[in-house]
């Protein structure tokens, strides 16, 4: 068996969490990541028949039975993932009952998966229905997006349009726009259902006064999505501090961009 610490997925989890901490998106234990793995990827490194622990699941995970995930642990600090991967991360399979997880590696010292597992697993279910290549869900407390949720309209069309206008790249990176749920108690099945519902049409979902969820096929894609939206929110913060918008990217410009880069902006989000 190969050393799992050298697997591409443990390395990607370490790299992503370290970068997210470095960028100030994940204070204390803030943020969580889940990564859907294939059986082949897992079996190279661990014995699939050796279940270390059974962990109850609070909602019905039947749709994901037999699937493997590596996730961050609850209460774990992203700054520590690199030095304590086997405690801060865990790899599990969804049991046949759909009601528990079979821990196969990690979550040392009785650690548990992220408390946001409902939002993660329900988002995986939603995204897999629209994208068979989907693999990753990432949550963090990106500072400028979080701040914007206090000062900007929370209408998803308004919010998306502002972000598209703050950096020329944005429309190309997330043409489907950003979705927003109401404020809800974190870690609950309720917030999981609300997030997953929005994930049916978008890869980015704002949790007002809390943070953001991103999803996609690769770690780079999801990280880049959040990074781009967060950069736009940072520019918005500067623009507001400098006295507000005097001129901006027009809808006509955005349409030209969409044509040039072959993306389809969310319907009715531009005037034409
Ligand atoms: P966990 O430490 O349980 O992953 O929770 C962090 C968080 O960001 C809650 O929304
Ligand atoms: Zn959070």
Question: Per residue, what are the HEC states of the chain?
Answer: CCCHHHCHHHHHHHHHHHHHHHCCCCCCCCCEEEEEECHHHHHCCCCCCCCCEEEECCCCCHHHCCCEEEEEECCCCHHHCCCCHHHHEEEEEECCCCCEEEEEEECCCCCCECCCHHHHHHHHHHHHHHCCCCCEEEEECCHHHHHHHHHCCCCHHHHHHHHHHHCCCHHHHCCCCCEECCCCCCCCHHHHHHHHHHHCCCCEEEECCCEEEEEECCHHHHHHHHHHHHHHHHHHHHHHHCCCCCCCCCHHHHHHHHHHHCCCCCCCCCCC
Q: Are residues 173 and 214 in the same domain?
A: yes
Q: Are residues 158 and 64 in the same domain?
A: no
Q: Are residues 206 and 253 in the same domain?
A: yes
Q: Are residues 270 and 191 in the same domain?
A: yes
Buried b vs exposed e over 100-139: b needs ≥16 C-beta within 10 Å? Answer: bbbbbbbbeeebbbbbbbbbbbbbbbbbbeeeeebbbbbb
Instruction: Report whether pLDDT(150) > 90.
Output: yes
Q: Are residues 139 and 261 in the same domain?
A: yes
Q: Are residues 206 and 243 in the same domain?
A: yes
Q: Are residues 31 and 148 in the same domain?
A: no
Task: Check residues 146 and 272 and name the one with the higher pLDDT.
Answer: 146
For residue 76, the CA-to-ligand 1 centroid distance in Å is: 8
The mean predicted confidence, pLDDT, of the chain is 98
The pLDDT tens digits of the residues spanning 160-170 come to 999 999 999 99
Q: CA 233, CA 239: separation in Å to the nearest integer? A: 10
Instruction: Report whether pLDDT(206) > 80.
Output: yes
Contact 115, 73 (CB under 8 A): no
**Confidence at residue 271, expressed as pLDDT on a 0 to 100 scale:** 86
Report which ligand 1 atom has the smallest distance to the Cα of 141: 8
**Confidence at residue 45, expressed as pLDDT on a 0 to 100 scale:** 98
Contact 148, 241 (CB under 8 A): no
Residue nearest to atom 6 of ligand 1 (CA): 30
Mean pLDDT of 119-142: 98
188 lines ligand 1 (CB under 6 A): no
Domain that holds residue 70: 1-114
Mean pLDDT of 200-214: 98
Contact 154, 163 (CB under 8 A): no
For residue 212, the CA-to-ligand 2 centroid distance in Å is: 8
pLDDT band at 243 (very low <50, low <70, confident <90, very high): very high
| Domains contained in the chain, number | 2
Mean pLDDT of 243-261: 98
Hey, how many other C-beta atoms are within 10 angstroms of the C-beta on 44? 11
Instruction: Report whether pLDDT(24) > 90.
Output: yes
Q: Are residues 104 and 164 in the same domain?
A: no
Q: Which of 100, 116, 221, 230 is an active site residue?
A: 116
pLDDT band at 272 (very low <50, low <70, confident <90, very high): low
Mean pLDDT of 39-52: 98
115 lines ligand 1 (CB under 6 A): yes
Report which ligand 1 atom has the smallest distance to the Cα of 140: 8
Mean pLDDT of 94-105: 98
Closest CA to 212 of 135, 123, 97: 123
Q: Are residues 163 and 68 in the same domain?
A: no
Q: Are residues 127 and 106 in the same domain?
A: no
**Confidence at residue 102, expressed as pLDDT on a 0 to 100 scale:** 98
Report which ligand 1 atom has the smallest distance to the Cα of 32: 4
Q: Are residues 72 and 29 in the same domain?
A: yes
Q: Which of 57, 91, 114 is the last residue of a domain?
A: 114
Q: Are residues 105 and 186 in the same domain?
A: no
Q: Which of 114, 139, 174 is the last residue of a domain?
A: 114
Q: What is the CATH number of the domain that holds 26?
A: 3.40.225.10
For residue 72, the CA-to-ligand 1 centroid distance in Å is: 9
114 lines ligand 1 (CB under 6 A): yes
116 catalytic per annotation: yes
For residue 56, the CA-to-ligand 1 centroid distance in Å is: 18
**Confidence at residue 247, expressed as pLDDT on a 0 to 100 scale:** 98
Q: Which of 79, 114, 149 is the last residue of a domain?
A: 114
């Amino acid at each position: 068996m190969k050393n799992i610490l050298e697997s591409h997925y443990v390395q990607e989890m370490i790299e992503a969490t370290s970068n997210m901490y470095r960028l100030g998106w994940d204070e204390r234990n803030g943020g969580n990541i889940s990564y859907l793995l294939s059986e082949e990827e897992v079996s190279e490194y661990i014995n699939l028949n050796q279940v270390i622990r059974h962990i109850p699941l609070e909602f019905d995970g039947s749709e994901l039975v037999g699937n493997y995930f590596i996730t961050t642990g609850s209460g774990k600090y992203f700054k520590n993932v690199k030095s304590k991967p086997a405690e801060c991360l865990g790899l599990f399979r969804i049991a046949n009952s759909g009601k528990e997880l079979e821990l196969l590696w990690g979550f040392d010292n009785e650690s548990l998966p992220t408390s946001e597992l409902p939002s993660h697993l329900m988002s995986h279910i939603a995204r897999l229905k629209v994208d068979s290549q989907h693999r990753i869900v990432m949550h963090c407390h990106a500072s400028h997006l979080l701040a914007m949720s206090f000062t900007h309209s929370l209408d998803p069309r308004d919010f998306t349009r502002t972000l598209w206008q703050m950096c020329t790249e944005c429309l190309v990176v997330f043409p489907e726009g950003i979705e927003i749920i109401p404020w809800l108690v974190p870690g609950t099945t309720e917030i999981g259902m609300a997030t997953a519902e929005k994930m049916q049409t978008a890869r980015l979902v704002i949790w007002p006064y809390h943070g953001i969820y991103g999803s996609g096929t690769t770690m780079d894609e999801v990280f880049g999505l959040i990074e781009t939206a967060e950069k736009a929110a940072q520019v918005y913060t500067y623009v507001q501090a400098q006295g507000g918008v005097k001129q901006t990217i027009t809808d006509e410009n955005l349409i030209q961009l969409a044509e040039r880069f072959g993306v389809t902006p969310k319907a009715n989000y531009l005037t034409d």
